[in-house]
Amino acid sequence: MSGTIQGFSKELTLTVKCFFGFEETLIEELNELGYPKVSKLNRAVQLKGTWKDVYFLNLHLRCAISILVEITTFRIKSEDDLYNQARKINWSNFFDVKKTFAVRGAIFSDLFTSTHYPNLLLKDAVVDHFREAAGTRPDVELKRPQVMLDLYVNNFEATISVNTSGNPLFQRGYRSTAGDAPINEVVAASLIRLSGWDRKTTFIDPFCGSGTFLIEAALLASGIPSNIERQHYAFKNFKNFRCGIVG
């Protein structure tokens, strides 16, 4: 389990997260972008791809919240198993000790009495690796980490991934302020696609507040990626990041 993130052309398992009820909408969008083989999950879809696809999808997907790249999946029978398996990963292959990181996840297992404790075990495994490999450790930053690790435990199976998006993809970057209770940009983009709008006829929003529907509709109709103004993605903090390769 030395880590496969360094293999730029290696096939990866990508999990694309979305809001509940929009899984089929996201699959339709992926099909349109040239990804026909997609599996439907709960609040997410899954497909195979490369790091070039990761860059491309972070920029072009309008109906996605974040894009995860799976590092490893393994069976566990105890709390120690989670730590020991995570400890085998060569985290130095993924990011530098100077980068801040955090662990978030979803835990559905009777092995743990606290849903937060597995995240701490993964955090400890990462820290202990760097202490042994580099003599120091990366700092944990909960609000704006440079590297976000995702842990998913379902009964006796654990999956560790890296979140390549960082901040949710509904943070488009095309505005600095918004009105009261604005609609989420990803929700707006998903509803527009769900409506069946042909992208040619006049698009009218009679309840226009901060203009989210109109902005997302205009970007969709013109073929401009909704994230074109977004300045940062978490994948830029990975050791294998290659600037200028989007696809």
Quote the pLDDT of residue 5: 56
Report the percent of the chain where pLDDT is more than 70: 94
Give the torsion sign (CA, 234, 222, 185, 46). negative
Residue 149: closest CA among 139, 134, 164, 136 = 164
Is residue 32 within 8 A of residue 62, CB to CB? The reply is: no
- For 12-53, what is each residue's pLDDT tens digit? 999 999 999 999 999 999 999 999 999 999 999 999 999 999
CATH code, 95: 3.30.2130.30
The pLDDT value recorded for residue 247 is 47
176/165 same-domain check: no
Q: Average of pLDDT values for 139-153?
A: 95
* Assigned domain for 3 exists: no
Per-residue pLDDT band for 242 (boundaries 50, 70, 90) equals: confident
Residue with tokens 């509803």: 191
182 in the same domain as 121: no
Q: What per-residue confidence (pLDDT) applies to 58?
A: 98
Cβ neighbours of residue 220 closer than 8 Å, sequence gap 6 or more:
62, 189, 192, 193, 199, 226
pLDDT, residue 179, reads 67
Q: Is the pLDDT of residue 244 over 70?
A: no
Q: Indicate whether 162 and 207 sit together in one domain.
A: no
Closest CA to 227 of 45, 65, 52, 53: 65
Residues 146 and 206 in one domain: no
Question: How many independent structural domains does the chain possess?
Answer: 2
pLDDT of 1 reads 43
Domain range spanning residue 220? 172-227
Tell me the pairing of strands 39-40 and 44-49.
antiparallel
- In a domain, residue 1? The reply is no
DSSP 93: G
Same domain, residue pair 163 and 176:
no
- pLDDT average, residue stretch 61-89: 97
The answer to whether 84 and 91 are in contact (CB under 8 A) is: no
**In the predicted model, is pLDDT for residue 10 greater than 90?**
no
pLDDT (0 to 100) of residue 175 = 83
Residues 165 and 177 in one domain: no
Quote the percentage of the chain above a pLDDT of 90. Answer: 85
DSSP letter string, 27-90: HHHHHHTT----EE-SSEEEEEE-HHHHHHHHHH-SS-SEEEEEEEEEE-SSHHHHHHHHHTS-
Helix axis angle for 117-134 and 79-87, nearest 10°, is 30
For residue 151, is it within any domain?
yes
46 and 165 belong to one structural domain: yes
- Does any domain span residue 222? yes
Residue 7: the pLDDT is: 52
Q: Which 3 state secondary structure label does DSSP give 153?
A: strand
- 115 and 151 in a single domain? The answer is yes
Residues 172, 227: contact at Cβ < 8 Å?
A: yes
47 and 85 housed in the same domain: yes
For residue range 150-206, what is the model confidence (pLDDT) as tens digits?
Answer: 999 999 999 999 999 999 999 999 987 766 778 999 999 999 999 999 999 999 998
Look at residue 114 and tell me if it is in a domain. yes
Assess whether 136 and 193 both reside in one domain: no
Residue 165 lies in a domain: yes
Verify that 37 and 53 share a domain, yes or no.
yes
Q: What is the pTM of this model?
A: 0.91
Helices (H) and strands (E) in the chain, counts: 6, 7
Tokens 């849903």 correspond to what residue? 115
128, containing H or E segment? helix 117-134
In a domain, 245, yes or no: no
In a domain, 192, yes or no: yes
Asked whether residue 49 falls in the same domain as residue 109, the answer is yes
